[in-house]
Amino acid sequence: MQYIQILIGFIGLIALAIPFSNNLKLINYKHVAGGILFQVVLAALLLKAPLITSFFEYLSNGVEVLKVATAEGTSFIFGYLGGGESPYVESQKGSAIIFAFNILPFIIVMSCFTAVLWYWRVLPTLVKGFSAVCQKLFNIGGPIGLGSAANVFVGQVEAPLLIRPYLKDLSKKELLILMTTGMATVAGSVMIALVSMLDMKFDDINLIQHFLIASILSVPAAIVYANIMIPSNHVTDFESSNTPRVYESTMDAITRGTSDGLNIALGVGSIVLAFIALVYVADSIIGLIPLTLGGESLSIQLILGYMFAPIAWLMGVPWDEALVSGKLLGIKTALNEFVAYGELASLSEGALSDRSRLITLYGLCGFANFSSIGILVSGISAMAPEKKPELIEVSFKALVGATLASCMTGLVLSLYI
């Protein structure tokens, strides 16, 4: 029955995108099938190949070093609020963790570290290899291949910067791919902050491995959905094979990476604060309606849960757990991934099985929410003002495609656990 559910999931998640297509006759189902097969094979390699899993173990150890290094900085600046020696005894494990002082600083440090690795040509080498595979498989050009693959390591606005000279030449489909991959992945800087949030809840698995795999697998899934929604054979290619230079020196990478990380951290913190407050206000108003669903009073989370529960089931989550998983998917889409992962971390024991919990972790991995639409449209249109009308036109398709891409990644994972 589990494999029948997974088969229905593949058909259902693709079928959900078809009504959003602007030309059903031009959809290349060969590319769709190839993209799904590529995800399945790539997932097998990333999850099961001993050499790759060993690499993730080393990477996880490296992340631990970064976390300790960041704690050194936060404890120096913020004292015990930032992880220094506490003047009191914690009532329970993790109660002293403060989001602003213990989680957001990881974004700044990782953004700086990512920038240095980009200047040292470590990340461009990885990105170019992954980009070349995507170009071959999906018939896309170098700029879109590079911009899409870079989203695994850099932010959704930073990735388009790498192909800034080519933005003005991109077609609607290529703009849609760029936006969809940006919203279907989680940047390396934010990834470490999320790992820190979930460490105590997922102490039995290698979180950095799963976040990286989820982002990598979501890139081909996002391209598949963009190809369904706006099928086209237009290809924009590089004038040369060189990866564009972003930083002038190591020091330039450190200073600009730190500055970018600070902006991201402030943006994340302010958005989380505002949205939590707005949800509380909305729940207070909705709570006045004398209706219940399944014995629970109406709330934003409950309404979203019932909306997204069928999608959670298509991901491979059992129906008796689909409402809980669906609530989290809805929160991520309506609010953002930080709020959703915070809710996941605070779930009571037994609310989700270990398998459903991991599938949900993958389904939540991405920036697919309404605030990201504004961030992407304003960010890319600042680089290519003439493309703003087209960006607005494809933005809702990008949100739908990115949400489904993350869910498809969760479904692919369910084959192996």
pLDDT tens per residue across span 44-103 = 999 998 888 888 888 878 877 888 888 889 899 888 888 777 777 666 555 566 778 878
Residue 415 lies in a domain: no
Q: Evaluate whether residue 213 is within a structural domain.
A: yes
Within a domain: 351: no
Task: Report the alpha-carbon distance of residue 337 to residue 342 in Å, rounded.
Answer: 8
Three-class DSSP category at 138: helix
Closest CA to 261 of 189, 185, 309, 170: 189
Express as a percent the part of the chain with pLDDT over 90.
Answer: 37
- In a domain, residue 347? The reply is no
In a domain, 286, yes or no: no
pLDDT tens digits for range 181-228? 999 998 877 888 888 888 877 877 888 899 999 999 999 999 999 999
Residue 392 to residue 377: CA distance in whole angstroms: 7
Number of domains in the chain: 1
Measured in whole angstroms, how far is the alpha carbon of residue 239 from the centre of its chain?
A: 30
Q: Evaluate whether residue 319 is within a structural domain.
A: no
The model's pLDDT over 284-324, given as tens digits with 9 standing for 90+, comes to: 898 888 877 767 778 887 888 889 999 999 999 999 999 99
Range of the domain at 63: 19-260
Is residue 306, in this structure, part of any structural domain at all?
Answer: no
Confidence of residue 243 (pLDDT cuts 50, 70, 90): low
What gap in Å lies between CA 371 and CA 336, rounded to an integer?
8
Task: Note the pLDDT of residue 102.
Answer: 79
Which tokens sit at 267?
């943006």
What's the whole-model pTM score? 0.86
What residues are paired with 296 via a beta bridge? Answer: 293
- Residue where the block lists tokens 């920038």: 115
Q: Which tokens sit at 333? A: 């889409």
Other Cβ atoms closer than 10 A to 99: 16
Residue 132 lies in a domain: yes
- Residue spans of alpha helices (H) in 287-387: 300-314, 319-334, 337-345, 354-363, 370-383
